[in-house]
Structure 1
Amino acid sequence: MYDIYERRLKWLVRLTLIGTLFTAAVMLVGAWTRLVDAGLGCPDWPGCYGKLLVPDNDHATLRHPDVPLEPFKAWVEMIHRYIASLLGLVVLSVVALGWPLRKTSGYPWGISLTLLAVIIVQGAFGAFTVTLRLWPQVVTLHLLGGLSVLLLFFWLHLRLRRAQRSPTIEPRRTNFLWAMAACLLIGQLALGGWVSSNYAGIACQGFPTCNGQWWPELDLSEGFHLTQTVGPNYLHGQLHADARTAIHMVHRLGAILLGVGILALWLRYRHAQHIAKPLTLVVSLYALQALLGIANVVLWLPLWLALLHTAGAIALSMGFIWAWWCWRYHEAGVYSAPPRTIYSNVIVD
């Protein structure tokens, strides 16, 4: 019985790591889909013009005569759907493998169920992204949902690794400084999604000024109007220049605030064992992400650089979670405790 549970846990550790990396890949493919304007490559869901494979032009014309088929964009969209479906199967596998361990002391069953719930909601947002024609509210929530899946996978992986070693030690409570930095990061990620979904990435030309001004004309009320209609679709956006400029400028200000929060964490814990190096990594990732953002503006948002900026957001999020984890558990002395097994308190039905 012990060997069976031990092997199952080892498989779960591997599977959650695969799920973390696969989620990052799905997010990058999603960003690519967005950047090549393929989000509406298939006008329906879950199929493409009523088919599970991209059909020929004749069938597409009969199915949706108002939406001409563009094979490249349709295939990009469908590939994103296929691999997102595979990710859902990975989540189901994690839950199925973890079912016999759900009553085991220290097993993070609640996180597994949360991951399952989030991936279901994420699938619904994927459908709404198409059926609501790229409504920016839904697109932004879809991005945040993807990040939630990624970080839940990563957190679950870390919890399972910890469960193999010392499941009974209590973590440190999150303090104000960490909570503030986490809120700033979430806010900046949401702003990044809002910039992308409203096509405001190059609303400001030049850096550090915006369109030759330190404080250009802004329409904040329109730029952050959360109930606007989308018309036939929201491809390429519908906001006027001042509204897009407002979104872009708020994103720049958010980046500054996030930098202050991350720097405050680093200054506070730079001499603490087990946390200084992870936080130094977070500071480095933030600096790289800021440079990528500036380069996107200066170089007019080339595809490869925009994808790198998305990858930077993913890396920064994971780096922050890892640093937070190290502070909550390593500094509390988790790994200095005698090794214990999660299966010492297995509850057998």
Structure 2
Amino acid sequence: MVETSSRRLVWLLRLTLLGLFLTVVVILVGAWTRLVDAGLGCPDWPGCYGQAVVPSTERAFAHSPDHPLESFKAWVEMFHRYLASGLGLVVLSIVVMARSLKAHSISLWRISTTLLIIILMQGAFGAFTVTLKLWPQVVTLHLLGGLSVLTLFLWLHLRIRQFVQNSHGVMKITYKSAFLWWVAGMLLVVQLALGGWVSSNYAGIACQGFPTCNTQWWPQMDLSEGFHLTQTVGPNYLHGQLHADARTAIHMMHRVGALLLGIALILLYWDYRELHFMKQSLNIVLGIYVLQAIIGIANVLWWLPLWLALLHTAGATALVISFIVSFWLSRYEQLNARTDTASRAVRLTT
């Protein structure tokens, strides 16, 4: 029985790693779909013009005469859906296996069921993205949902690895460190949401130049309109509906968010500067953050080229992964190191 459970844990470890990889791919393909304006490549959901694959021009016209078929965009959109469906199957497999281990670890079961709920919500957001014609609120929530799936896959993978290594302790971090982690975590979530809001409202190049915006340090902005969250449902939001000052406000808040996040990460690094393994981990987080900032600046200066905008999304996923891993290390690795040291000391004395 123990051997069977160990095998299942190993398989779960592999499945979560596969799910983590697929989630990154789905997020990047989703960003690509967005960047090439293929989000409405298929006017319906889950099929495309009522078909499981992209149909011929004649069939598409018969289904939706007011929505001409653009084959490339339709295939990009369907490719994204196929990948997302495959990811859903991986999540179902994980839930089934985690259920069989429920008696050994209720936490694995809870995380996996939460993952299933989020992936189902993602499917709903995918449908609403099409039916509500790229409504910015839905598009932004769809992005945050994808990053939530990424976080849950990573956390579940780390939790299973802990079981495989037979290390079940949890270290209590100091209040100061816990507070800094939560502040940095919340700022990261806000910054990711702002990034999604920039993208969904097509505000990526609302500011020309850096560090100034349209030759001004604090340009004219319309914050109330830029962050008006009760926008009308119904218009086609492809290429956005907001005026220039509202888009400028969104862009500038994204810059401010990046600055605040950077300060929080530097404070975390300073707090852990005397712990070598944490210093190394937070070095990676800060390195990715700096690279992400450089890519963001380059996107503004070079007018948002496709490959660089896609790289910015990849940087966001890398930042999330590195931050979660560092947070995990801050909670567990010190205790594991102490346990290993104590075990070696016992072996030496005996």
Question: Is TM-score (shorter-chain normalized) higher than 0.5?
Answer: yes
Query: Can you give the 5+ residue segments of structure 2 that lack an aligned partner in the other structure?
Result: 342-350
User: 1:170-204 deviations in whole A, cap 9, x for unaligned?
Assistant: 23257111100000000000000000000000000
- Give TM-score, length-normalised by structure 2: 0.94
Q: Is the 8 A contact 2:49 2:63 kept in 1?
A: yes
Q: 2:227 aligns with which of 224, 228, 252?
A: 224
Q: How far is the alpha carbon of 1:106 from its aligned partner?
A: 6.8
Letter in 2 for 1:241: A
User: 1:138-181 deviations in whole A, cap 9, x for unaligned?
Assistant: 00000000000001000000000011223531232571111000
Distance 1:11 1:243, change over 3 A: same
Q: Could you say which residue in structure 2 is the equivalent of 1:67?
A: 67
Does residue 29 of the first structure (1) align with residue 29 of the second (2)?
Answer: yes
Separation in 1, partners of 2:219, 2:239: 22
Separation in 2, partners of 1:33, 1:259: 29
Q: How far is the alpha carbon of 1:51 from its aligned partner?
A: 0.5
Q: Could you say which residue in structure 1 is the equivalent of 2:142?
A: 142
Letter in 2 for 1:258: L
Alignment of 1:228-307 (within 5 A): 228-307=231-310
Separation in 2, partners of 1:244, 1:200: 5
Separation in 1, partners of 2:4, 2:131: 45
- Give TM-score, length-normalised by structure 1: 0.94
Q: Is the 8 A contact 1:269 1:276 kept in 2?
A: yes
Does residue 176 of the first structure (1) align with residue 179 of the second (2)?
Answer: yes
Q: How far is the alpha carbon of 1:105 from its aligned partner?
A: 4.1
Q: How far is the alpha carbon of 1:314 from its aligned partner?
A: 0.2
Q: Which moved more, 1:271-280 or 1:283-292?
A: 271-280
Secondary structure of the 2:69 match is coil
User: 1:223-279 deviations in whole A, cap 9, x for unaligned?
Assistant: 000011154310000000000000000000000000000000001101114211110
Q: Which 4+ stretches in 1 moved above 6 angstroms?
A: none
Separation in 2, partners of 1:246, 1:33: 25
Distance 1:338 1:6, change over 3 A: farther
Q: How far is the alpha carbon of 1:59 from its aligned partner?
A: 1.1
Separation in 1, partners of 2:105, 2:202: 48
Distance 1:133 1:240, change over 3 A: same
Q: Could you say which residue in structure 2 is the equivalent of 1:345?
A: none
Separation in 2, partners of 1:326, 1:172: 12
Identity of aligned residues (%): 64
Q: Could you say which residue in structure 2 is the equivalent of 1:155?
A: 155
Separation in 2, partners of 1:172, 1:93: 33
Query: Can you give the 5+ residue segments of structure 1 that lack an aligned partner in the other structure?
Result: 340-349
Q: How far is the alpha carbon of 1:334 from its aligned partner?
A: 2.2
Separation in 1, partners of 2:160, 2:15: 11
Q: How far is the alpha carbon of 1:336 from its aligned partner?
A: 4.1
Does residue 201 of the first structure (1) align with residue 210 of the second (2)?
Answer: no
Does residue 89 of the first structure (1) align with residue 92 of the second (2)?
Answer: no
Distance 1:165 1:115, change over 3 A: same
Separation in 2, partners of 1:274, 1:299: 37
Q: Which moved more, 1:268-277 or 1:211-220?
A: 268-277
User: 1:278-328 deviations in whole A, cap 9, x for unaligned?
Assistant: 101001000000000000000000000000000000000100000000001
Separation in 2, partners of 1:261, 1:121: 31
Distance 1:336 1:108, change over 3 A: farther
Separation in 2, partners of 1:228, 1:9: 46
Q: Is the 8 A contact 1:270 1:276 kept in 2?
A: yes
Secondary structure of the 2:277 match is coil
Secondary structure of the 1:52 match is coil
Alignment of 1:19-58 (within 5 A): 19-58=19-58
Letter in 2 for 1:87: L
Secondary structure of the 2:103 match is coil
Count of residue pairs the alignment pairs up: 338
**Alignment RMSD, CA only?**
1.4
Letter in 2 for 1:135: W
Q: Is the 8 A contact 1:166 1:334 kept in 2?
A: no
